[in-house]
Amino acid sequence: LRQCPVVAALGGAGSALPMAPPLPFPPSGPTGPSTPSGGSPTSPLEQMRSRCAKAGLCSEWCADEQQLASMLEQLQEYDRFGVYALKGECQGWRIPIEGIYERGDFMTRLRVVLVWRSMTVKQLKDECWRRSIQQFDAMEYGSKAEREATRNHLVGRLVADAYGAGAPPGPPQFPARGLPESHAAWPPWTGKPAAAPLPGQATAKAAADSDDGGSSTDSEEAARRGEPPSWQPPRAPPWAA
């Protein structure tokens, strides 16, 4: 076999050459955690915060990975919505949308309010204080219903400061005893005849009926007399006669 030139130049002492030290395992790879420039492994919380930052969510205030993951999941659901669905979501949370029509504008407001809805009462109070927003004495340690009402109030104050709305976000709230009278399909049946209207009210009612052509359904007449409503088949429109 041909002898290596380097070994021949060293007088055949190739076996006496020092061995190079083994290379260390790469700091990042399929079996090891990623290492940032600082040299310390990135924690799962920092990774989740990085994902939130890329998605446009403020996350420095949160130290709970599950909460950050929940925010990202909700934002991913918003990403699948169309413009009309995003508009309905803003209206559901009482976010003002007057004058905006682009999808990105709806998403921006939903991102901001999503962060506020995820904060604790104390964090919301701190955010209101930072923005110089006047607030009432918020309950931090009351019952769950009290804390939720306080959170809705504080989020509503933040929304009002940012977008000019005064109502707290959330689904519409109805009285505890059922729908308000304006939403009721039928007037409540008390079992007693309705009180007779005053002379002025009767005259106004007659004038209103005459303006409408004097037409009134049997159910309306029964409701005026205090009788329980009965089902009536639908009538044909006047122009069909």
The answer to whether residues 114 and 122 touch, using CB atoms and an 8 Å cutoff, is no
Pick the residue with more confidence: 122 or 202? 122
In 3D space, the residue among 131, 138, 175, 173 whose CA is nearest the CA of residue 153 turns out to be 138
Average pLDDT of the residues in 143-170? 74
Confidence of residue 233 (pLDDT cuts 50, 70, 90): low
Average pLDDT of the residues in 146-172? 73
Average pLDDT of the residues in 132-156? 72
The residues facing 29 across adjacent strands are 32
Calculate Rg over the CA atoms of the chain: 35
Confidence of residue 33 (pLDDT cuts 50, 70, 90): very low
**Total residues found in the chain within this entry:** 241
In 3D space, the residue among 140, 161, 163 whose CA is nearest the CA of residue 150 turns out to be 140
Distance CA 61, CA 45 (A): 12
Name the DSSP letter for residue 147.
H
Average pLDDT of the residues in 154-181? 60
Distance CA 163, CA 197 (A): 46
Domain residue extents for the chain = 44-163
